[in-house]
Chains A and B, each alone.
Chain A
């Protein structure tokens, strides 16, 4: 065993190692690895950490980063709660049109973001179907405000929690809920103390996926956002603006800042996951 651990691959009669590994490694290198390395090289070596900090440490950039992460967080929280509810309704209840609703949950995966962007803008604009009603009743505007960004990001992240939680609900043993009832717990208590904790790890995974997706979202947001600097200008848009000004260093700095914050967040979520999974055993 000691010898084997020094070789890359354990011996096997299975064919196609060279070909499959070769294709895989080439594609990963060309599409992901080298481009990411170039980005980091441009940022940390050519431009320098201090210079990048100067780019990021300006109000407009901070505001854009804060907006992107705040809106993504709010939208993902909404999707966390609504996604668990929707998954429950889809697995446990019967109602007419359920299959269609189930299929439609994936619409945000299949519908191009630009289409979602202009469509949401059309209905939530001050003269749109919902926008006009909301403005008249509550006196607030949706499109061209941060609220509009929330709506777009909720749309984009909607399927993630539903799709991670659904299979877990399907696998819940009815006996677990029944035993809780025999011990005297009300239905509500069973749901909050027994069912929800069982769904938590999967829901958190879905939350992380939705967050990662919505932090970087561009297409569906720019139409509805209004794109006012410091107010409704998201970080990805700022990268595009820097590129249009041929300020490559500025774009690189903001991109690296976004990646760094994203990875810190995902790492934190992963740690929570590992902790909660360890408690529940290897499941």
Chain B
């Protein structure tokens, strides 16, 4: 699914978190929103997911206006930095949550849910942890469970907020490849937020560099590295 962001702006009270920004994301790309904290990258991601509403502007999914769609209707697989796993549910129940929440008409049968959850556990390479609770998992395992839970609803896109932010350096490297693999297998348009330029450059097809509510540059990692458009970009990617 391709995503069009048209002149989206967002004010929180009197402060502007996003100046009008526009961006076009082709279907199936893996996009990094790169910038320091306060650059509006998380706000933009949350607007895509339907968790925040823009003050002005539109979002188009495959050409049709999605600005007025509620969070539930957007079917965006969203992974939070904290993962926000449900502590009182097993890994299995966490992943099955979105399927069970569907209205009765479109809800899969119990065996079908079990089959899909098992497949997702295999996809994240943790086939045996279905019966565990989140507090019994390592940080890396939690991240992958959060990813599987987001994928379970057969999302139209995958949105991740600092997906590696809470992990130590070694696990971070491993999981980068994990995310790349999952993206390549599913073919989903994927947007992730990061403040780590190395992570963005290594992982993404398209990097969007942001500073205080503005998009500074959009391009392939090698182009941005070779031809930074502004001083901000140059400083940020060499920092």
Query: A–B direct touch, CB within 8 Å, in complex?
Result: yes
Residue in contact with B72 in the complex, picked from A176, A184, A282, A283, CB distance below 8 Å:
A184
Complex Cα–Cα for A189 and B136 (A): 26
Complex interface: chain B residues within 8 A of A229 (CB): none
Complex Cα–Cα for A175 and B84 (A): 6
Inter-subunit contact A283/B97 (CB<8 Å):
no
Complex Cα–Cα for A182 and B88 (A): 19
Inter-subunit contact A185/B72 (CB<8 Å):
yes
Complex interface: chain A residues within 8 A of B82 (CB): 173, 175
Q: Is B98 interfacial (CB 8 A cutoff)? A: yes
Complex interface: chain A residues within 8 A of B101 (CB): 180, 183-186, 189, 193
Q: Is A198 interfacial (CB 8 A cutoff)? A: yes
Given A194-B86, A197-B88, A198-B88, A182 and B97 contact (CB-CB distance below 8 Å): no
Inter-subunit contact A178/B80 (CB<8 Å):
yes
Inter-subunit contact A185/B84 (CB<8 Å):
no
Complex Cα–Cα for A204 and B21 (A): 49
Given A184-B98, A189-B101, A281 and B72 contact (CB-CB distance below 8 Å): no
Complex interface: chain A residues within 8 A of B149 (CB): 179, 183
- Binary contact readout A182-226 vs B (1 if CB under 8 angstroms, 0 otherwise): 111110010001100110100000000000000000000000000
Complex interface: chain A residues within 8 A of B110 (CB): none
Inter-subunit contact B77/A280 (CB<8 Å):
no
Inter-subunit contact B98/A280 (CB<8 Å):
no
Complex interface: chain A residues within 8 A of B98 (CB): 183-185
Residue of B nearest to A282 (CB): B135
Interface of A is mostly: helix
Distance in angstroms from B53 CB to nearest chain A CB is 13
Q: Is A181 interfacial (CB 8 A cutoff)? A: yes
Q: Is A92 interfacial (CB 8 A cutoff)? A: no
Complex interface: chain B residues within 8 A of A175 (CB): 80, 82, 84
Distance in angstroms from B68 CB to nearest chain A CB is 16
Inter-subunit contact B71/A181 (CB<8 Å):
yes
Q: Is A279 interfacial (CB 8 A cutoff)? A: yes
Inter-subunit contact B88/A179 (CB<8 Å):
no
Q: Is B50 interfacial (CB 8 A cutoff)? A: yes
Contacting B at CB under 8 A, from A224-283, are 276, 279-283
Q: Is B153 interfacial (CB 8 A cutoff)? A: yes
Q: Is B163 interfacial (CB 8 A cutoff)? A: no
Distance in angstroms from B206 CB to nearest chain A CB is 23
The 8 A-B pairs of least Cβ separation, nearest first, read A281-B135, A183-B98, A185-B101, A182-B78, A175-B84, A179-B84, A181-B71, A197-B88
Q: List the interface of chain A (C-beta within 8 A of B).
A: 173, 175-176, 178-186, 189, 193-194, 197-198, 200, 276, 279-283
